[in-house]
Each structure stands twice: as structure tokens, then as C-alpha cells.
Structure 1
């Protein structure tokens, strides 16, 4: 097993790997996670036998919370490493699976939608695109991939409302493949992964490649244009002042915000 500071990669079987996000306290996506994830993808690409990779979290309340906006400048203009990561996952010869417990918002949800298959804990999975609450938009593929998965009207609902969505709703929308009782999630995902690992690698690659050809992913040009729009919105004084106020909250208030963000960013009821 390989251990990095924020990502663990474990080879479960000859063709089956599990990758676990572990960046306490809330699993923010920051430059350390990004660097460690690149290292893990390098390892996976060096293993010619891998057929299936499951991505999960060590923290039951958070799969990937969202982008650490306080460190966004460290990713470089246009976040090139992020877009390279999702392209590598899209083009990978193996099947990628998300096992979702806890919150996957913002770039956490954008990571999930870049995977091939998603299973979610009925009791504990929370998905959403929170950006509208801060006067910005999903800038890392969230609008495009959500629209592809769940259709224009529902993607507009999710992105424009900024609300949290539970696993049953996400399943109904086609956002996740299945909502599973939490006590069964690990077994369901493991069974699926082991079946994939049992089958012929060339046939599995053919299935993924054909689906990718027939239902193409968003183009690099469209993603870059959306990210540029995100940066234009992000740099406005209004947005920076709002983010600064959130960053000055005491730790207990920050945790409450992270746990209940879909409710907290909207109008008071």
C-alpha cells in the first residue's frame, strides 16, 4: 500500500485498486491533494493489469468538500493539472468508480461526475454545486458534465439553486448510478469492482471507448471558456469580501457551514 499525505492508494487485487482521500478535517481539494492524486495516477498508469479503481474517502462526513479557494492561486492559471487529471481519468484504460459517503460539493462533485460509475450512501451522501452562493459558477467541468448526466433543466436547477441533494434524488436524476443503504455500500461497491476485475481487459476498454465516442465528454475548449468565466466572477470585490468573511469564522462555525452549506448559503427561512 502506498501512503501519501492526503491520498492513499491500495491494491486490493491484481486488477483492482482503491484510492482514498484523506485530507482532514473536511477533505478540501487543495494543491497537496492534487499533487498526491497525480502521483497515484502515475502509479495506476504504470500498472498494466489494472481494470477497475474505486475512489472513496476516509472521512464519513466528507467525500471531497470543495476547492480550497484560499489556495486557488497555487494551482496556476487555468488549473492545468486539474484538467489533466480529469482527462487522464476519462482516457484511462480502467473503469473508475465513486463510492460516496458524506459531502461532495463543488470540485468534489465535479470529480465524481468525471468518473465512470457512482454509488452513494442513501443516509450520508450529499451532492451539490455551491458556487452560486458566493457569486461564482462551477469552473471545473461541473456545468458541462452535470448537463450531460442529468439533462439541461435539472443541471440548471442544481447549479442555480446551490442546494444540497440527497442520494435518492441524485439516483432519480441519473446523477449517481445507485443510492445504496449505508450499511451495504462497501459490499455493493466491492462486488461490482471484483466483477469488473474478473472480466477481460480488452473488452472492458472497448466498452468504455465506444461509450466515450458515442457520448463524448465536454471539449477542452468549452471547459477552458467556462473556467475563464469562473475566474472573472471570482476576482470581483463582492466575491472576495464574501469569501473573506467566511474565512474569518471561528472553527466551530466553519464546521457548521461545511456540514450545512446548501442551507447556509441561501436566504434565511
Structure 2
């Protein structure tokens, strides 16, 4: 669609989803939230797609936040609805059965950091900045930022970032556990795509089992989570990929996984 706020390109089994509003620093308005939700629905359903990379267009921003111009005139009910819309989309990404990598090429602020945090891995350029600056607008994070930030970085760091509203650099974000890796900006795309290709070549059903166990398990009690892991572990023994992977190991050859 020519008016879509997204660019979608496939590189083998890796799908790259780019938020394409560089003139607005890729800010998330309602149309972009809906387009992202639909794009991740499509990626989840497409058997040819085994990993997704999410990034932003232009040299400045991954996603610089929610669209303030759109939010400014909302009523309380509309504000709640906008928050729910964003949270549904973020949950769609977080619950993806395929690994999603946020390639943070610039500012990831407010809704942009919230979007990055719902991805499974976050790779940042050394020039990137992240933060939750909503306090400076008289707002609070509304797309899950207070909750995912506390779970990723801990309560003290979440309180600091949300209460003070100041961005931090990529190195500090890595220290806090908000991003997994920091790379020179010139190497970001190539290294992220290499990592995505590695994930795309892995056993798809095992990947899904790991994602389900870690994402779901982090939201429930330990005993229930351990039972869930055991059930998933047993279930994977019914797959051809498990038989192929173990046979390849014993035969000292590279496995060929097909997601069955």
C-alpha cells in the first residue's frame, strides 16, 4: 500500500519491518499502531518467515515516541483507548512465535522504547539514545513502559528513567539490561541481519518453545512456570526437528530444520 507507514522486505527467511515516518521521527500514531499489529499478524502466519527485524527509517530514530500531535487533543476515554491500542500491538509482538529483534538505529524514546522492549532481543547503535520522557509532557508511559522497564532493568532503574525523564546512551542501556548488544552504527545493520539469519536457521519449534517458556514463565509463579517448561520439553520430543537435531549431532553433521 503506497500510504502505509511501514516498509516490509524479506531477506530469505528474515522479514524486516521498518516504521517509515522519518519526517515525524517514526512517531507512533493510531494508523502506525494498527499497521504494525497487522504486519506482525502476517509474519506470524507466514511459514516462510522465521525471524523478524524491526527498525525505523532514516538516520535519526528507531521510534522517537508516540505521536504527540495526535495525543494532545484526546479525551480521557480516548486516551485510555489509545493506550489499549498500543498495548495490544505490543503484546502481539511480545507473544510472537518467532524471534523479533529490535534494531535500534537512533532515538528510542517513550513509545519507541516501549516498542523495543516488547521485542525479544534489542541491538543498538552506539549512537542510540533510549528513555521514557513522558513525565516532561505531564504524562506517564502508556504502552507498557512502566512494567516492562521494571522487569528488564529493575525497579530502581525504571523509577529513575520514568521519574526523571532523561534519556540514556546505548552503553548505559546495555549495563542496565535494556539492550542486549551495542554496535558501531556503521555495523548495526549487517550484524543484526547476521544474527537474524542465525535465528532463522535454528529449529523453529524449539525457538517457539523457548519464547513461550520465557515470556509466559516470567509472568507466572515459579512452580507453574517449571511445570509449563516440562510440558513444552516433552512436547518437543514429538517433532521431526528434534529427531533431526539429535541425529545430526550424533552423526557430526549440520542439521536441516523444517519446523515439523
Name the TM-score, length of structure 2 as normaliser: 0.77
Please point out which of 130, 150, 155 is paired with 1:152. 155
Q: Which runs of no fewer than 5 residues in structure 2 stay unpaired?
A: 221-260
User: 1:176 corresponds to which residue?
Assistant: 179
Q: Contact 1:23–1:33 at 8 Å: present in 2 too?
A: no
Secondary structure in 1 matching 2:102: strand
> Compared with structure 1, are the counterparts of its residues 179 and 87 closer, same or farther at alpha carbon in structure 2 (3 Å cutoff)?
same
1:32-59 deviation line (CA, Å, top 9, x unaligned): 2123223312321330232210001111
- By how many angstroms is 1:3 displaced? 6.0
Please point out which of 139, 160, 185 is paired with 2:142. 139
1:59-88 deviation line (CA, Å, top 9, x unaligned): 111111111133134977432332221121
Q: Contact 2:103–2:192 at 8 Å: present in 1 too?
A: yes
Of 195-204 and 23-32, more deviation after overlay is shown by: 23-32
Alpha-carbon distance between aligned partners in 2 of 1:101 and 1:202, rounded to the nearest angstrom: 30
Of 196-205 and 181-190, more deviation after overlay is shown by: 181-190
Q: Contact 2:51–2:200 at 8 Å: present in 1 too?
A: yes
Aligned residues: 214
Secondary structure in 2 matching 1:9: strand
Matched ranges for 1:224-243 at <5 A: none
Structure 1 position 163 matched with structure 2 position 149: no
Select the structure of larger CA radius of gyration: 2
- By how many angstroms is 1:214 displaced? 2.5
Alpha-carbon distance between aligned partners in 1 of 2:88 and 2:18, rounded to the nearest angstrom: 20
User: 1:40 corresponds to which residue?
Assistant: 39
User: 1:105 corresponds to which residue?
Assistant: 109
Alpha-carbon distance between aligned partners in 2 of 1:212 and 1:35, rounded to the nearest angstrom: 23
Alpha-carbon distance between aligned partners in 2 of 1:144 and 1:134, rounded to the nearest angstrom: 19
Structure 1 position 51 matched with structure 2 position 55: no
> Compared with structure 1, are the counterparts of its residues 132 and 77 closer, same or farther at alpha carbon in structure 2 (3 Å cutoff)?
closer
Secondary structure in 2 matching 1:78: helix
1:77-108 deviation line (CA, Å, top 9, x unaligned): 43233222112112211101000111111111
Of 177-186 and 145-154, more deviation after overlay is shown by: 177-186
Name the TM-score, length of structure 1 as normaliser: 0.75
- By how many angstroms is 1:128 displaced? 0.7
Q: Contact 1:3–1:9 at 8 Å: present in 2 too?
A: no
Structure 1 position 22 matched with structure 2 position 20: yes
